[in-house]
């Protein structure tokens, strides 16, 4: 207990006083969309075997007998004994190779623990399609895309692995980042007899109705840009009205289309609205992946990309076309860092990403209210309106959002019975707005990492990792050892 108290004091002492809060502009745009890595191009750094398991489409019905192939990745390089620990990644909204490639921490500690590595793909993502190319055809096929069904998939897979004599008594430690971190936490809460512990990184399990203020997300994004330069968010805030004024005429729309090299020229107010949405997505993505080293998670980016962006936005007197020219140079850090992009496609602010099922999840159970007030953040005012949100969902999927489902299923307001979970959140990460930032119990611990962006702690070690991230990873090792020891006893 002394070690825990000491480490937590270090984190609290290093807490930066910057206001940290943020925003997402629509329900289907940027909830941690993932880099799409083709399956056949396995990384030279990480080796694994791809397997499948027959999985029920509906775990909770006695009338639906359909099954499908759920994919998972396996590496047993470091397993030396019977009942070796199983390190299990709860896959989120993308193909599973993405998460295997971007969760280096699991690979780094596997030799130390002699662990078997499992990365399980989430149903309806990657190649784990319950109804093949008809999986997204209609509600009858898509209706089985829920977190509850996904957790049941993972339980089924763990039981399958443990059915082998060599893993019969293996402890299972879960790992997950973002939505995957939410799944890890919920799985430990819901199935504590199946898994022994969970590392839930950047998991916004409190980003739901009546629990977290909808403005919080937008404020953290703004804070990240303000930390880079005090004038940066001011100029971004000013740019919205400048864009509106310039694009109010045909001449102005042509100027912006030509100077920003848009793939399709702006023709009307709907195109201008799309442009603004595109910009908001980029600012949010930059805040999420503001890593201290070059990375290629959402796009090829330099170290601390927010700082690189804000170097173009320091002159507070910028206005009119000069300001928009500077904004274009700034966002080019995200859109064209490699100088290979020929034009800007406003229909895709993250061209390498793949999370096609998330819009449906966001329209059913994963309803996370977000808004901006335009006063305490750098965005235009955009209130949260559940009625309008519901209309969009009914129009797109013929479903009505159920904003209280998650808290009813897993708990939000009272999680005091949760055990053996580490909730880690970086204060540079917008999603920390809905993260667990204080201990829930003696073994459900909150780790606050001041210098971390979105699940940086689960990525592979790098020379420029901040000390708080290095320390957090040491802390995780300590807890994992305790969980494994407790299971054996």
* Residue (of 379, 208, 403, 289) closest to 32 by Cα position: 289
* Residue (of 89, 101, 123) closest to 36 by Cα position: 101
How would you label 50-63 residue by residue, b for 16+ Cβ within 10 Å and e otherwise? beebebbbbbeeee
Q: How far is CA 385 from CA 216, 217, 372, in A?
A: 16, 16, 12
Let me know: does 285 contact 353? Beta carbons within 8 Å: no
Single out the catalytic residue among 128, 135, 147, 178.
Answer: 178
Chain centroid to Cα 435, Å, comes to 12
Please tell me the number of Cα atoms within 13 Å of 407 on its side-chain side.
16
Single out the catalytic residue among 224, 377, 429, 457.
Answer: 429
Q: Is 429 a catalytic residue?
A: yes
Q: Is 36 a catalytic residue?
A: no
Q: In 3-state terms, what secondary structure has residue 165?
A: helix
Q: How far is CA 244 from CA 10, 376, 415, in A?
A: 47, 21, 45
Structure token digits, residue 467: 């000390």
- Residue 210, sorted as left (phi over 0), alpha (psi -120 to 50) or beta, turns out to be left
- One-character DSSP codes across 253-272: HHHHHHHTTBSS---SHHHH
Single out the catalytic residue among 229, 312, 454, 487.
Answer: 454
How would you label 430-461 residue by residue, b for 16+ Cβ within 10 Å and e otherwise? bbbbbbbeeebeebbbbbbbbbbbbbbbbbee
Let me know: does 186 contact 198? Beta carbons within 8 Å: no
C-alpha to C-alpha distance for 318 and 239, rounded to whole angstroms: 10
C-alpha to C-alpha distance for 400 and 392, rounded to whole angstroms: 9
Structure token digits, residue 21: 């809060």
Q: Is 178 a catalytic residue?
A: yes
Let me know: does 181 contact 455? Beta carbons within 8 Å: yes
Residues involved in catalysis: 178, 429, 454
């Amino acid at each position: 207990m002394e070690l825990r108290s000491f480490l937590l004091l270090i984190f609290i002492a290093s807490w930066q006083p910057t206001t940290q809060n943020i925003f997402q502009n629509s329900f289907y745009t940027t909830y941690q969309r993932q880099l799409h890595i083709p399956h056949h191009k396995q990384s030279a750094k990480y080796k694994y075997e791809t397997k499948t398991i027959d999985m029920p489409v509906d775990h909770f019905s006695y009338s639906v007998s359909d099954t499908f192939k759920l994919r998972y990745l396996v590496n047993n390089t470091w397993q030396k004994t019977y009942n070796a620990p199983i390190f299990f990644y709860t896959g989120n909204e993308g193909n599973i190779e993405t998460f295997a490639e971007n969760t280096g921490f699991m690979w780094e500690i596997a030799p130390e623990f002699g662990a078997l590595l499992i990365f399980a793909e989430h149903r309806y993502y990657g190649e784990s399609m319950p109804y093949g190319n008809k999986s997204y055809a209609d509600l009858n096929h898509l209706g089985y895309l829920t977190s509850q069904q996904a957790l049941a998939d993972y339980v089924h897979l763990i039981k399958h692995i443990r059915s082998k004599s060599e893993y019969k008594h293996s402890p299972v430690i879960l790992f997950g980042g973002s939505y995957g971190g939410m799944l890890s936490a919920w799985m430990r809460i819901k199935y504590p007899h199946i898994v022994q512990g969970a590392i839930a990184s950047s998991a916004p399990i409190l980003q739901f109705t009546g629990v977290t203020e909808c403005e919080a997300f937008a404020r953290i994004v703004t804070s990240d840009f303000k930390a880079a330069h005090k004038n940066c968010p001011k100029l971004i805030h000013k740019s919205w009205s400048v864009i509106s004024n310039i694009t109010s005429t045909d001449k102005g729309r042509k100027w912006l289309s030509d100077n920003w090299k848009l793939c399709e020229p702006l023709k009307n107010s709907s195109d201008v609205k799309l442009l603004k949405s595109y910009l908001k997505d980029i600012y949010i993505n930059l805040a999420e992946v503001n890593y201290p080293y070059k990375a290629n998670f959402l796009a090829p980016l330099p170290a601390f990309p927010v700082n690189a962006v804000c170097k173009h936005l320091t002159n507070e007197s910028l206005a009119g076309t000069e300001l928009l020219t500077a904004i274009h140079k700034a966002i080019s850090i995200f859109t064209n860092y490699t100088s290979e992009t020929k034009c800007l496609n406003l229909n895709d602010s993250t061209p390498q990403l793949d999370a096609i099922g998330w819009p449906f999840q966001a329209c059913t159970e994963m309803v996370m209210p977000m808004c901006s007030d335009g006063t305490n953040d750098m965005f235009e005012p955009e209130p949260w309106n559940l009625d309008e949100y519901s209309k969009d969902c009914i129009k797109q999927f013929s479903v009505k959002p159920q904003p209280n489902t998650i808290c009813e299923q897993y708990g939000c307001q009272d999680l005091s019975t949760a055990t053996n979970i580490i909730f880690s959140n970086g204060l540079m990460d917008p999603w920390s707005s809905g993260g667990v930032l204080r201990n829930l119990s003696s073994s459900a611990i909150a780790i606050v990492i001041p210098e971390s962006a979105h699940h940086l702690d689960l990525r592979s070690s790098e020379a420029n990792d901040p000390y708080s991230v290095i320390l957090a990873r040491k802390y995780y090792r300590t807890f994992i050892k305790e969980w494994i020891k407790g299971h054996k006893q």
